Structure 1
């Protein structure tokens, strides 16, 4: 079986890059140490599929009081991350990813999953998307939440192993093992080089 067949990539596949923002860089309140290491891989995926890439951004509420339910306590703990106190530039994508949009799209979300609400799912259905290629941060939080929702919606998922990162080595490693062991019919894991090679074959034809 070729990589293109294994990964189920087509001209309708979409790259979703999760929360590669200054908020999670060394300059932000939630630093993800691996971000610099995976950033070039995320950029390579975006460069190949720039008109079929969606960058999500995690956007905190203006104040803790307007957050729903348990999120209120979360933001009371992380008081300096709400928009009334946060440097607004920290919500932006890290360079060089910000240079891909447009034509890449930026999709803002208030919670872990990019599929909370119906807007993203509706847009992907309108694009007739099939396989979703995932990169970004964090493997065991927003990436996990979005991937599980994508699977529930019936999308086939490809995780770029060397293009996802977490602030927790233990959490990242556990999630990669879980993806490999528990979701074989709905998800594949591959290095960015294999994904790029397989996707180029599709675009070249």
Structure 2
């Protein structure tokens, strides 16, 4: 079982891949340097069970004025990623992942946490999912927010250590330490190879 506490119940597990979009790729305004480096590990998990994969996309507002609260200030600073400015193709998933949709599905969100789209939790619960394998971008922003939401909702959380990317090594490393030391009862961490060894999705 490696670093995991028990095998992964394939009938109750979904691979939740966060925001692996062209927006964060080499051509995007929010380029995350190691997104391409972790892509092979992420693809390995997707290919194990495309039909058990959920992708999310971060979709900015059309303009800062369409955002609410402090998001208005945020998108005034980052106006170049609002939909009235940004190339819409940059909002798409990275090409190696997009080809798996369908059967993989996509949930769009307007905030950091995947669960800011209320339909995601309903979708997962409706299919009996209680375990999430987490990959994606960025470790210290959307991944962090999603994991904390999932902890509150009671999911078993398996973080694929080599399937996460960030633009800041220091906070990436700090977050992995936080999960291991402060959330050890609720968050498990393993390399993608170890996860694959314990995960047999239904055919």
TM-score normalised by L of structure 2: 0.96
Deviations 1:18-57 (A, max 9, x none): 0000000110110100101101111110101210100000
CA RMSD in angstroms comes to 1.4
The corresponding residue for 1:52 is: 52
The structural deviation recorded for 1:6 is: 1.4
Residue 108 of structure 2 contacts residue 117 of structure 2 at CA under 8 Å; is this kept in 1? no
Question: What secondary structure does 2:184 align onto?
Answer: coil
Question: What secondary structure does 2:174 align onto?
Answer: helix
- Cα distance in 1 between the residues matched to 2:103 and 2:3: 25
Question: What secondary structure does 1:134 align onto?
Answer: strand
The corresponding residue for 1:33 is: 33
The corresponding residue for 1:103 is: 103
The corresponding residue for 2:5 is: 6
Seen in structure 2, the aligned counterparts of structure 1 residues 82 and 185 have a Cα distance that, compared at 3 Å, is: same
Runs of at least 5 residues in structure 1 that lack an aligned partner in the other structure? none
Deviations 1:76-111 (A, max 9, x none): 011111000100000000020001110000110000
Aligned residue pairs, count? 202
TM-score normalised by L of structure 1: 0.95
Residue 139 of structure 1 contacts residue 175 of structure 1 at CA under 8 Å; is this kept in 2? yes
The corresponding residue for 1:159 is: 159
Question: What secondary structure does 1:195 align onto?
Answer: helix
The corresponding residue for 1:84 is: 84
Deviations 1:155-199 (A, max 9, x none): 010000000010000110000000110111111000000001111
- Cα distance in 1 between the residues matched to 2:136 and 2:6: 18
Residue 53 of structure 1 contacts residue 105 of structure 1 at CA under 8 Å; is this kept in 2? yes
Seen in structure 2, the aligned counterparts of structure 1 residues 135 and 115 have a Cα distance that, compared at 3 Å, is: same
Please identify runs of 4+ aligned residues in structure 1 that moved more than 2 A.
2-5
- Cα distance in 1 between the residues matched to 2:179 and 2:7: 17
